[in-house]
């Protein structure tokens, strides 16, 4: 089923094609779409981080397989699978493959 992106909001940035979501209908009208709170996505590219800055919580941009870009810790590399919080669009943890 195709769901208009307006019903999903910013969560659309973290959904892969054919991802399961919960849809609430009123008759044939879509009332709301609930996406998973956490989703696992692969990193397709990362930008180099600033080395040597270990005092603060340093992050770098990473592009995910859906095209979304999030900030991740410096130790994250291309090809890694990450757990993402779809409510905030933030990195949660690495997923062991």
- Strand segments (E) across 12-67: 22-26, 29-34, 38-46, 59-64
b/e map 49-59, b = 16+ CB within 10 Å:
beeeeeeeeeb
What's the pLDDT at 10? 86
Whether the per-residue pLDDT at 50 is higher than 70: the answer is no
Residue ranges, comma separated, of all CATH 2.40.50.140 domains in the chain are 38-94
Question: What is the domain class of 38-94 according to CATH?
Answer: mainly beta
pTM given for the model: 0.84
pLDDT reading at 17 higher than 80:
yes
CB 3 within 8 A of CB 33: yes
């Amino acid at each position: 089923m195709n769901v208009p992106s307006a019903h999903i909001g910013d969560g659309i940035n973290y959904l892969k094609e054919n991802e399961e979501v919960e849809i609430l209908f009123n008759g044939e009208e879509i009332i709301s779409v609930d996406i998973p709170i956490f989703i696992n996505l692969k990193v397709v590219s990362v930008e180099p981080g600033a080395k040597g800055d270990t005092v603060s919580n340093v992050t770098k941009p990473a592009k995910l397989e859906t095209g979304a870009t999030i900030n991740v810790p410096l130790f994250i590399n291309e090809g890694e699978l990450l757990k993402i919080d779809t409510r905030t669009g933030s990195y949660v943890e690495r997923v062991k493959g």
